[in-house]
Amino acid sequence: MKRGRLRVLLGAAPGVGKTYAMLEEGRRLHAEGKDVVVAVVETHDRPATAAMLEGLEVVPRLVRRHRGIELTDLDLEAVLDRAPAIALVDELAHTNAPGLAHDKRWQDVQSILDAGIDVISTVNIQHIESLNDVVQQITGVPQRETLPDSVLRAADQVEVIDLAPQSLRDRLAEGHVYPAARIDAALSNYFRLGNLTALRELALLWLADEVDTALKNYRAEHGIDSKWEARERVVVALTGGPEGETLLRRGARIAGRAAGGELLAVHVISQDGLRSAHPGALAAQRALVEKLGGSYHQLVGDDVPTALVEFARASNATQLVIGVSRRTRLKAAFSGPGIGTTVVRESGDIDVHVVTHSAAGERMRLPRIGGALSLRRRLAGLGLAVVGGPLLTALLVATHSEESITSEVLSYQLLVIVVALVGGLWPALFAALLSGLTLDYFFVNPLYTVTIAEPAHALALVLYLANAGVVSYVVDLAARRSRSAQRAAGESELLATVAGSVLRGEDAVPALVARTREAFNLTGVRLFAGGTLLYSDGSPAQAGPDTPLATVPVGTRGTLELSGRDLAASERRLLGVIATQLDAALEHSDLAETAS
């Protein structure tokens, strides 16, 4: 037997006209010759609603007594025996009287659908299980009768019966919803204009999300990967770099140009975890995404451009925002097309915005001479060149022959490479110049003179210097990455500790203050808001040469005062991330206090 179809009329609040619309639709279908019965309807003594029953067949209610009270409810067996083509069932989330076959009316509806009978029903947004707590926060009224989201999402058709909040209040004031004795209380409590506006937005957003899900399913079932511009969806690609905030704000402006625009931020990490971003910057950018009303997504994939384009297509995105490459032109010339170029080539009909920013690569910028190696390693490399050069020369002079020039050249080249590995650029250049001159003085005719008469000798000296520069650059780059990895691991551990303290049940704001003092080894941390001390941890000292006081703004809500020692630049950057989390925790605390 073919299962019946379920059509649900969804309302933002009582009195918007769901039952009236259901009965009106039943009358229309009955006039077309369809077999329609009213399985159960709640008129709430509203004359206009009761008048709509005229001409429709009504299945008598089942009457039961419970604790001395007479209760009437839907007679499921009578409806199944009648077996109409269409049954009208009011208030889908209703709780049945004790002792009936099912506890909930929506379970009765499932039985009716299984019998091949189409059902038209009604429900209010406050009865949806996932929105129950949200509605209670808005209205202050708990809802005891709820409907599983899965039941409503499985409906074949969901329609919002919409009515402007002020029009609903006017209907209520005119006595079309509640009796006169309940009007004033209803207008000043549940039916306040702000409440009705919020409930109406909830209903429309829920339906929009349901329509969006249906559209995605349809596109997947039919293999459609081209964009359908039903609404503006903007995907912003984040690398964790300093340009992230610029890209997010640009994406939010693009999404905000059209009603219903959606902002999605995405960060791609590699499967082996080697492509890492600054965790502090990503945390701050994720908080900004939430403030802008967007959603944050993290993907795993070794091919970044492909992962971005596939995510954008799967999300039915209309726009993709990426940043101008931070690579220099020299690096781009050797490494081929970058992520931006590849994304533009593969994006197809998705519009790509390449946004410039202050961190974009500079023209022909050379590596920083200072390097990432410590002073101790550079001095060690210089010492190895000063000591190792003469020792190697003495050994080679003692074993010199006319056929040994090749091994002597390779020996000095090995010395240069070892010095580069230990000390980096400047010691390697010094060793290369010293070894080149030594070779010319002791082993190249005429001996014991420094004369570069042959072009080949000049070329050899240049090659020595080039070898030293290339090897030292690789060593310096490896040192930078090692130091960045160590710093990122430390910062990730700190953020995990901070988050863990909240997950273990500690109050978010005091936990963040306490973990800040412990993580940065401070003597004291105090959090102020509006000039008032909110939380304190440790013993803040007076300002002095050994106990500097520093202040960090916590959004626009407060200030964090630190004492004990001065912080390095990398620590201040991480402290900014914690300040962002503190701002979010304070905002959540304020909202919770307002809701209560």
Does residue 16 sit in the same domain as residue 162? yes
Task: Give the pLDDT band (50/70/90) at residue 504.
Answer: very low
Report the number of distinct structural domains present in the chain. 4
Which helix or strand (DSSP H or E) is residue 573 part of?
A: helix 569-595
Quote the pLDDT of residue 273: 45
Ranges 111-115, 162-166, 206-210, 312-316, most confident: 111-115
Q: Rounded distance, CA 194 to CA 13, Å?
A: 13
Is residue 491 a part of any domain in this protein? no
Contact present, 413 and 464 (Cβ < 8 Å) = yes
Cβ count within 10 A of residue 252? 21
Q: Which has the closest alpha carbon to 235: 320, 110, 333, 150? A: 320
Is residue 572 a part of any domain in this protein? yes
Quote the pLDDT of residue 334: 44
Does residue 471 sit in the same domain as residue 516? no
Supply the CATH number for residue 340's domain.
3.40.50.620
Does residue 554 sit in the same domain as residue 468? no
Is residue 360 a part of any domain in this protein? no
Does residue 158 sit in the same domain as residue 26? yes
Is residue 501 a part of any domain in this protein? no
- Over the stretch 260-314, which tens digit does the pLDDT of each residue have? 678 889 888 764 444 455 666 778 888 888 888 888 887 766 678 888 888 888 7
Contact present, 277 and 267 (Cβ < 8 Å) = yes
Sequence-separated (6 or more) residues with CB below 8 Å from residue 51: none
Does residue 100 sit in the same domain as residue 27? yes
Does residue 78 sit in the same domain as residue 215? yes
Domain endpoint, select from 179, 198, 221: 221
Domain endpoint, select from 321, 355, 389: 355
Supply the CATH number for residue 559's domain.
3.30.450.30
Does residue 20 sit in the same domain as residue 153? yes
In Å, how far from its chain's centre is CA 427?
47
Does residue 105 sit in the same domain as residue 204? yes
Q: Which two three-digit tokens encode residue 505?
A: 């049940």
Segments forming the whole domain that contains residue 260? 233-355
Does residue 61 sit in the same domain as residue 115? yes
Ranges 143-152, 441-450, 496-505, 542-551, most confident: 143-152
Is residue 488 a part of any domain in this protein? no
Is residue 56 a part of any domain in this protein? yes
Q: Higher model confidence: residue 581 or residue 322?
A: 322
From residue 255, alpha-carbon distances to 251, 290, 294, 442 in Å are: 6, 14, 10, 73
φ/ψ of residue 67, rounded to 5: 55, 45
Question: What is the model's pTM?
Answer: 0.44
Q: Are strands 549-554 and 36-40 parallel, antiparallel or unpaired?
A: unpaired
Q: Are strands 351-355 and 319-323 parallel, antiparallel or unpaired?
A: parallel
Q: Rounded distance, CA 58 to CA 310, Å?
A: 54
Contact present, 254 and 234 (Cβ < 8 Å) = yes
Does residue 37 sit in the same domain as residue 164? yes
Does residue 272 sit in the same domain as residue 347? yes
In Å, how far from its chain's centre is CA 13?
32
- Over the stretch 329-362, which tens digit does the pLDDT of each residue have? 545 544 455 677 788 887 777 888 888 765 555 4
Is residue 226 a part of any domain in this protein? no
Q: Where are the beta strands (DSSP E) in 239-347?
A: 262-269, 295-300, 319-323
Q: Which has the closest alpha carbon to 378: 434, 435, 420, 433? A: 420
Q: Rounded distance, CA 293 to CA 291, Å?
A: 5
Is residue 104 a part of any domain in this protein? yes
Mean pLDDT of the chain: 77
Residue 195, CA atoms < 13 Å, CB-side half-sphere: 21
Does residue 212 sit in the same domain as residue 241? no
Domain endpoint, select from 195, 221, 247: 221
